[in-house]
């Protein structure tokens, strides 16, 4: 066991985690110098970000002695911090990577605290020292001042060229402790991830704390008591490699013909059915979804297939939740919960790419607390469940404590942005002269749609955001219904602050006017709060030129033709049913959350 090291790489998005992981793979002899091996998902390559935590076991020789390094590459985006916390539970140490050109950023700080919460040994590392505008001295000072490390603990590397990676490997051996556990004790293994395989069923990723696991063992999950017989155990190289046995301290996987994805809970403890351990490993903090949206199949017959896909997706992404719901406009579907908007986008993309699902997603909403006149407090995440306004005493919206880190040149732009989002400014901190942290409280609804993109554009890409939910606060929230030809479309209704409802509704109707095709009759688009119409648009009808064949002649003949056309249009309007194309739903996702349009 003293030849094993379990560690993770944590960093802010784009600081070079996946590139460093590739250098480790080269040292372990698994790949010839290549690029981004661990980011194997098509989406990860497209977007250049890590979404899933990827484990890999490497044999690395140092001074003639062979060591087993279990490396878990983690995501850096704020929406995937749950992935990071799961990965850290399986490790004894973490490499904290900081970009020499960007310095300490919001997620660097958040991930450092996550690692400290899990009692991990942290090795601070400055990356990208080969880049010409790298500020190694300034970054080093930030790591010391903001994160509290000592100057001599910091290592300097270039993950791209491989410079300094050998020193990092030695530091891992010296500083990160070997795992401890008793191979002879009853089995105690932590489930930190899983995925579904068509032939093997659920593949369970585990970190063995005590005992051993091998083929033929009868195991049980401690959270639900379900028992299975182990079919295969193994470790992660570039692919899964079967082994005879997994022992205390190791990271690997097992399969046991588990057909129902819901039997496996991330954070659960696995033990032997006939000789169980006394108590389970303390679980992860449960992830609470922050953003909710409806997901519906385009073809209503594919409801069951969508359900299976969501169950499989939930296996390796427990931060995502779902429950069935129905909509008059879209039929049967699911109400899904996500960590944030990027998480929602990624989940929808994965459903399309990995599972081939054609789906429609509704407007994202947050969860509101509503105090009713009878004293009850209910929480709703779906505008369709909004109670009768006459029964409501007060509505509370979720508030987050947010911090934005930027160069001082952009303070004015950022203050303007947060003021437009109903934020309450708290303080400004100067960790060093080139960096300022603005802290503020802001309603979650205000930052879930396009806040991150707007922040990037007003700070030329330098702004970084981190936020944490702090509680609910009373607010003037209203439900806005969207009506097409005076018929409310439940899937398009949304909740917004009273001040902003008009701007959001108007911008939504303008977009819809462009994407709903013209018909032979007029289509009216309206936004209403209760019975009060707050915005209106119309889609003009096509008009057939019925007078084209009339060359001169009696005017009464022309009038007769026009009257006949008018009657026909009235009739059409009565029986006409407007088809709303998929783009109408997608376009709403990008509606600016209340930017005033002059």
> What is each CA distance from 447 to 105, 270, 335, 341, 441, in whole angstroms?
19, 39, 20, 9, 11
Q: How is domain 188-272 classified at the architecture level of CATH?
A: Beta Barrel (2.40)
Say whether pLDDT at 515 is over 80: no
Pairing type for strands 218-221 and 269-272 reads: antiparallel
Radius of gyration of the chain (CA): 28
112 is in an annotated binding site: no
**Is it true that 291-362 and 478-589 share their CATH fold?**
yes
Cβ atoms 123, 92 nearer than 8 A: no
Class of domain 4-175: alpha beta
Average pLDDT, the chain: 77
Domain extents in the chain: 4-175, 188-272, 291-362, 369-474, 478-589
16 is in an annotated binding site: yes
129 is in an annotated binding site: yes
Q: What is the pLDDT of residues 431-479, one digit of tens each?
A: 767 778 888 898 888 887 677 778 878 887 677 777 777 888 888 888 8
Say whether pLDDT at 178 is over 60: yes
Residues 236-256, mean pLDDT to the nearest whole number: 83
161 is in an annotated binding site: no
322-327: long-range pairs with CB below 8 Å, 24+: 322/295, 325/294, 325/382, 325/384, 327/294, 327/296, 327/362, 327/384, 327/490, 327/491
49 is in an annotated binding site: no
Number of neighbouring beta carbons within 10 Å of residue 431: 17
What is the CATH code of the structural domain delimited by 291-362? 3.30.70.870
15 is in an annotated binding site: yes
17 is in an annotated binding site: yes
Say whether pLDDT at 492 is over 60: yes
Least Cα distance to 386 among 472, 496, 295 occurs for 496
In this structure, of 109-123, 395-409, 450-464, 541-555, the range with the lowest mean pLDDT score is 541-555
470 is in an annotated binding site: no
Q: How is domain 478-589 classified at the architecture level of CATH?
A: 2-Layer Sandwich (3.30)
Q: Which CATH number fits domain 369-474: 3.30.70.240, 3.40.50.620, 3.80.10.10, 3.30.70.1450?
A: 3.30.70.240
Q: How far apart are CA 519 and CA 526, in angstroms?
A: 17
Cβ atoms 95, 88 nearer than 8 A: no
């Amino acid at each position: 066991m003293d030849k094993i090291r379990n560690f993770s790489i944590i960093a802010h998005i784009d600081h070079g985690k996946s590139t460093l992981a590739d250098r480790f793979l080269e040292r372990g002899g698994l790949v010839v110098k290549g690029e981004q091996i661990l980011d194997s998902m098509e989406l990860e390559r497209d977007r250049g970000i890590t979404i899933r935590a990827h484990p890999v076991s490497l044999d690395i020789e140092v001074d003639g002695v062979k060591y087993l390094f279990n490396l878990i590459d983690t995501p850096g985006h704020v929406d995937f911090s749950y992935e990071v916390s799961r990965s850290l539970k399986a490790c004894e140490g973490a490499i904290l990577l900081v970009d020499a050109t960007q310095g300490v950023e919001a997620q660097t700080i958040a991930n450092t605290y996550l690692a400290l919460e899990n009692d991990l040994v942290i090795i601070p590392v400055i990356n990208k020292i080969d880049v010409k505008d790298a500020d190694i001295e300034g970054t080093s000072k930030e790591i010391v001042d903001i994160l509290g490390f000592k100057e001599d603990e910091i290592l300097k590397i270039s993950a791209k060229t491989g410079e300094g990676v050998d020193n990092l490997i030695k530091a891992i051996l010296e500083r990160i402790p070997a795992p401890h556990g008793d191979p002879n004790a009853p089995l105690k293994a932590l489930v930190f991830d899983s995925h579904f395989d068509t032939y093997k069923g659920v593949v369970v990723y585990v970190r063995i704390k005590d005992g051993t696991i091998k083929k033929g063992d009868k195991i049980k999950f401690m959270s639900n008591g379900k028992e299975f017989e182990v079919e295969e155990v193994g470790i992660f190289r570039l692919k899964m490699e079967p082994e005879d046995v997994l022992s205390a301290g190791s990271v690997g996987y097992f399969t046991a013909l588990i057909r129902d994805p819901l039997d496996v809970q991330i954070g659960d403890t696995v033990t032997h059915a006939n000789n169980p351990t006394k108590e389970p490993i303390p679980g992860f903090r449960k992830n609470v979804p922050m953003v909710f949206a409806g997901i519906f199949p385009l073809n209503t017959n594919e409801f069951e297939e969508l359900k299976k896909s969501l169950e499989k997706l939930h296996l390796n992404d427990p931060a995502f939740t779902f429950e069935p719901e129905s909509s008059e406009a879209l039929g049967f579907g699911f109400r899904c919960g996500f960590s944030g908007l990027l998480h929602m986008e990624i989940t929808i993309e994965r459903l399309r790419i990995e599972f081939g699902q054609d789906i429609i997603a509704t407007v994202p909403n947050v969860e509101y607390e509503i105090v009713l006149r009878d004293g009850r407090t209910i929480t709703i995440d779906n505008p369709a469940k909004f109670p009768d306004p006459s029964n409501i005493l007060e509505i509370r919206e979720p508030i987050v404590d947010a911090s934005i880190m930027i160069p001082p040149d952009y303070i004015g732009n950022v203050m303007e942005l947060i003021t437009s989002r109903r934020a309450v400014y708290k303080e400004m901190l100067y960790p060093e002269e080139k960096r300022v942290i603005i802290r503020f409280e802001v309603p979650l609804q205000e930052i879930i749609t396009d806040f991150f993109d707007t922040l990037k554009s007003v700070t030329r890409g330098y702004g970084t955001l981190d936020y944490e939910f702090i509680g609910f606060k009373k607010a003037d929230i209203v439900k806005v219904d969207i009506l097409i030809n005076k018929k409310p479309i439940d899937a398009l209704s949304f909740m917004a602050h009273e001040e902003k409802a008009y701007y959001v509704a108007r911008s939504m109707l303008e977009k819809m006017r462009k994407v709903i095709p013209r018909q032979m009759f007029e289509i009216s688009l309206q936004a209403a709060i209760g019975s009060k119409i707050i915005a209106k648009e119309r889609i003009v009808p096509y008009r057939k030129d019925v007078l084209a064949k009339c060359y001169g002649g009696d005017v009464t003949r022309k009038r007769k033709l026009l009257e006949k056309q008018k009657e026909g249009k009235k009739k059409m309007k009565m029986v006409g049913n407007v088809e709303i194309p998929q783009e109408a739903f997608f376009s709403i996702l990008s509606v600016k959350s209340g930017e005033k349009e002059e």
